[in-house]
Structure 1
Amino acid sequence: MTRRVAVVLFNLGGPDSPEAVRPFLVNLFTDPAILRVPGFVRPLLGRLIAWKRTKAAQENYAIIGGKSPLRELTEEQAAALEGVLNTAEPGDAYKCFVAMRYWKPFTEEAVAAVKQWGAEEILLIPLYPQFSSTTTGSSITEWNAECAKAGLSLPTSTLCCFHSDSGFAQATARMVEEAYDKARASLPADVPLRVLFSAHGLPEVIVKSGDPYQWQVEQTMAAVVAAMNVPGLDHVVCYQSRVTPQKWLGPSTDSEIERAAAEKVAVLISPIAFVSEHSETLVELDVEYRDHAEKLGIPGYFRVPAQNADAGFIAALADLVRRTQHSARTLCSFAGGRQCPRPHKDCPHGKANALQAKAA
Structure 2
Amino acid sequence: MTVVVPLDAHRPVTQAAPPRVGVLLVNLGTPDTADARGVRVYLREFLSDPRVIENQGLIWQIILNGIVLVVRPAKKAKDYLKIWNTEKNESPLKTITRAQSDKLAASIADQKHVVVDWGMRYGNPSIKSRIDALTAQGCDRILVMPLYPQYSASTSATVVDKVAAALKDMRAQPTVRFTPPYYDEPSYIDALAVSIERHLATLPYEPEVIMASFHGMPQSYIAKGDPYQAQCIATVDALRARMGLDDRKLMLTFQSRFGYEEWLQPYTDKTIEQLAKDGVRRIAVVTPGFSADCLETLEEIAQENAEIFHHNGGEHFSFIPCLNDSDEGMDVIRQIVLRELRGWI
Provide TM-score, normalisation by structure 2.
Answer: 0.87
Change (3 A) 1:231 1:204: closer
Task: Provide the identity percentage.
Answer: 25
Q: Secondary structure of the residue that 1:32 maps to in structure 2?
A: coil
Match of 1:15 among 31, 51, 56: 31
Change (3 A) 1:205 1:231: closer
Q: How many residues align?
A: 320
Aligned-pair distance for 1:151?
Answer: 3.3
Kindly report which structure 2 residues correspond to 1:204-353, keeping only aligned pairs within 5 A, or say none. 204-228=219-243, 234-265=249-280, 266-326=282-342
* Separation of aligned partners in 1, 2:286 and 2:193: 10
Aligned letter for 2:49?
Answer: D
Change (3 A) 1:2 1:268: farther
Q: Please tell me whether the aligned partners of residues 19 and 138 of structure 2 are also in contact (alpha carbons under 8 angstroms).
A: no
* Separation of aligned partners in 2, 1:111 and 1:51: 33
Change (3 A) 1:325 1:32: same
Q: Secondary structure of the residue that 2:105 maps to in structure 1?
A: helix
Match of 1:154 among 168, 174, 190: 174
5+ residue gaps, structure 2, are: 1-16
Aligned-pair distance for 1:99?
Answer: 2.3
1:72 aligned residue: 95
Kindly report which structure 2 residues correspond to 1:113-132, keeping only aligned pairs within 5 A, or say none. 113-132=133-152
Q: Secondary structure of the residue that 2:252 maps to in structure 1?
A: strand
Q: Please tell me whether the aligned partners of residues 222 and 228 of structure 2 are also in contact (alpha carbons under 8 angstroms).
A: yes
1:54 aligned residue: 73
1:140 aligned residue: 160
5+ residue gaps, structure 1, are: 329-360
Match of 1:163 among 183, 187, 191: 183
1:37 aligned residue: 55
Q: Please tell me whether the aligned partners of residues 240 and 246 of structure 2 are also in contact (alpha carbons under 8 angstroms).
A: no
Q: Secondary structure of the residue that 2:335 maps to in structure 1?
A: helix
For residues 245-295 of structure 1, give each alpha carbon's deviation from its aligned partner in whole angstroms, at most 9, with x where no partner exists. 111111000121122212322211001101111111111111111111111
* Separation of aligned partners in 1, 2:247 and 2:303: 29
Change (3 A) 1:135 1:35: same
Structure 1 segments of 4+ aligned residues over 3 angstroms from their partners: 38-48, 229-233
* Separation of aligned partners in 1, 2:145 and 2:271: 32
Q: Please tell me whether the aligned partners of residues 40 and 69 of structure 2 are also in contact (alpha carbons under 8 angstroms).
A: yes
Q: Please tell me whether the aligned partners of residues 184 and 238 of structure 2 are also in contact (alpha carbons under 8 angstroms).
A: yes
Aligned-pair distance for 1:52?
Answer: 2.7
* Separation of aligned partners in 1, 2:104 and 2:79: 30
Aligned-pair distance for 1:43?
Answer: 5.0
Structure whose alpha-carbon radius of gyration is higher:
2
Provide TM-score, normalisation by structure 1.
Answer: 0.83
1:346 aligned residue: none
- The Cα RMSD (Å) is 2.2
Change (3 A) 1:38 1:62: closer
